A and B are shown apart, each in its own frame.
Chain A
Amino acid sequence: MTKLITLLLIGASNGLIYAVVAIGLVLIWRSTRVVNFAQAAMAMFSTYIAASLIDRKVPYFLAFILAIVFAFIMGSVIERTLMRQAAKGTPISSVIVAVGVLITLEALAGVIWGANLRNFPSHFSLVEIKTGGVKLGISPFDIYIFVAVLVLLLALVYLFQYTKLGMMMRASAFAPEVSRLLGIRVGRMLTLGWALASAAGAVAGMLAAPRVFLFPNNMDAVLVFAFTAAIIGGLDSPVGALIGALVMGISLSLIGGYLGSDLENPGAFVILVVVLMARPQGIFSSIAERRV
């Protein structure tokens, strides 16, 4: 019974990290109809930036923020220089360019920082909290993940639902041509979408790294989990992606705990295929149904 509870809590905590990556995928998908396969590699790269800052004695939270700023700029540059060009080609061009960015960033990280595993500081203890000798199944770091993800999600909800900028971004995503006719600079909104997704990815990377360690491929699996989560959510819905990510986190944690950790990745494939076969438009998507 305690094993089950522990697995559920670990799963939820991992799920929150997948959620941030998944929401990054959703942000970009909504505005450009591109699945950003480089999302996780971008997150990894920003995490390395944070790690090297911390190595140079920059305080954790300052490094955290600087890495987010770096990610924001990196996302804008990738959108402006590469993805906008790729969008002029076939849909497959965008997929291939995103894969190109993925492989280039992983390789660059390997060249710059070496291909070996390294630690990434968690800043908060990874040891379970005990009260009166009873383990609670969660560590201070889990609480930190929860708070960080919550703050990030609330900030995104606020931006999209309650600000002019968010309204323009949503309009640009849903109806780019109409938005341009209304005087909205759609190109800038797309760039901003990539920048925000990249920044969210950096947060995910820095939250994931203390557990999975940091190495150039460390986020490959997270990308697949987050993609599956986003698909469960219909690719269009940030809330759907969050729920999907929690489902993924918990399912994989249970698979790993009861069937063996080697089955997590194959398990993700099976879940993805089952979801895609049952409801290709996702389980939480309402919009897709109206589109013929």
Chain B
Amino acid sequence: MLVIEKLSASYGPVKALKEVSLKVDRAKITAVLGANGAGKTTLLRTLSGLVKATNGNVSVDGNEIVNKSPEDIARCGVAHVPEGRGVVQEMTIEENLRLGAVWKRDVDVKSKIKWVYELFPPLEPRAQKAAFTLSGGERQMLAIGRALMAEPRTLLLDEPSLGLAPLVTSNIMALLRRLCDEQGLSVLLVEQNARSALSVADDAVVLSLGEVVVADDAKKVMSDSNLRHHYLGF
């Protein structure tokens, strides 16, 4: 469970986040929507410690994580899949997966890798190839698979659909839903592609200029054409 209370962050003089509060329950997906520059990526980067928060609280499963280092936050069970896929291109697929759990002592790496290959079958035959040989969709699979290696309880996803074909996107969304239900993951899903994010999310938050302007049930947001039109452009 992820609880964010009045979180603020700035880039120099620019306030990128203004008192953002939201909550993601266990086994739930919250979609974070909004236009470019609304602060979606900044929100995730602040949660994972890459950007310092100027104010506010964040807790995961009861642990305060705000302004800890990214390494420590990762070790609290928060996995952040950054935008642009964030695989280590120079290393092989298998090495990337092993990196996912590299700090964890009590994890059975071999069976975990096998499990990721079952989730994402296209990865297995390429196990020993460098990650830069993968297609965009495969890189996204690798990045998510790697994030799952450390058995996180909170998953932060930044634009997983960016640049992917609609079919690949919907497969990934369906898989997210499944993981969330089976593993009890709390997922914070940042998306530009509001339609596909809302199709799997339980709750939705719309950010505009760093502030939460809408926080509601995902289905309600989806059905409110006025709201959709105003903030989400469809």
Contact = CB atoms under 8 A, between A and B. Distances in A.
Interface stretch (A18-26, A164-172, A255-263): A164-172
A186 to B, nearest CB: 7
Interface residues of A, number: 19
Interface stretch (A96-104, A174-182, A217-225, A264-272): A174-182
B60 interface: no
Interface string B82-99: 100011111100010011
Contacts of A175: 86, 88-89
A164 B70 CA distance: 20
B50 A174 contact: no
Given A175-B88, A178-B82, A178-B86, A183 B48 contact: no
Given A177-B82, A180-B50, A186 B98 contact: no
A282 to B, nearest CB: 15
B88 A181 contact: no
A287 interface: yes
A184 B90 contact: no
A185 B71 contact: yes
A180 B73 CA distance: 9
Contacts of A57: none
A290 interface: yes
B90 A167 contact: no
B219 interface: no
Contact of B88 (A164, A178, A287): A178
B88 A180 contact: no
Contact of B102 (A168, A174, A186, A287): A168
A290 B89 CA distance: 11
Nearest to B81: A181
B100 interface: yes
- Majority secondary structure, A binding face: helix
Interface in A90-132: none
Nearest to A290: B132
Interface residues of B, number: 27
B7 interface: no
Nearest to A181: B80
Contact of A183 (B71, B87, B90): B71
- Majority secondary structure, B binding face: loop
B74 A167 contact: no
B91 A184 contact: no
A269 B124 CA distance: 48
Given A180-B70, A182-B146, A183-B75, A167 B86 contact: no
A287 B132 CA distance: 11
A181 B69 CA distance: 9
Nearest to A185: B71
Contacts of A170: 88, 90-91
Contact of B99 (A171, A177, A186, A287): A171
B103 interface: yes
Nearest to B74: A183
Nearest to B152: A183
Nearest to B50: A177
A184 B80 contact: no
B91 A183 contact: no
A184 B80 CA distance: 13
Interface string B45-81: 0001110000000000000000001110011000110
B50 to A, nearest CB: 7
Interface in B90-149: 90-91, 95, 98-100, 102-104, 132, 146
Nearest to B143: A178
Contacts of A182: 74, 99-100, 102-103, 146, 150
A181 B90 contact: no
A74 B98 CA distance: 32
A184 B102 contact: yes
Contacts of B50: 177, 180-181
B102 A167 contact: yes
Nearest to A183: B74
B103 A183 contact: yes
Contacts of B102: 164, 167-168, 171, 182-184
Contacts of A287: 90
Closest 6 CB pairs of A and B: A183-B74, A180-B70, A183-B103, A178-B86, A175-B88, A174-B90
Given A170-B88, A182-B146, A290-B132, 6 more contacts: A167-B91, A167-B102, A168-B99, A180-B50, A182-B74, A183-B104
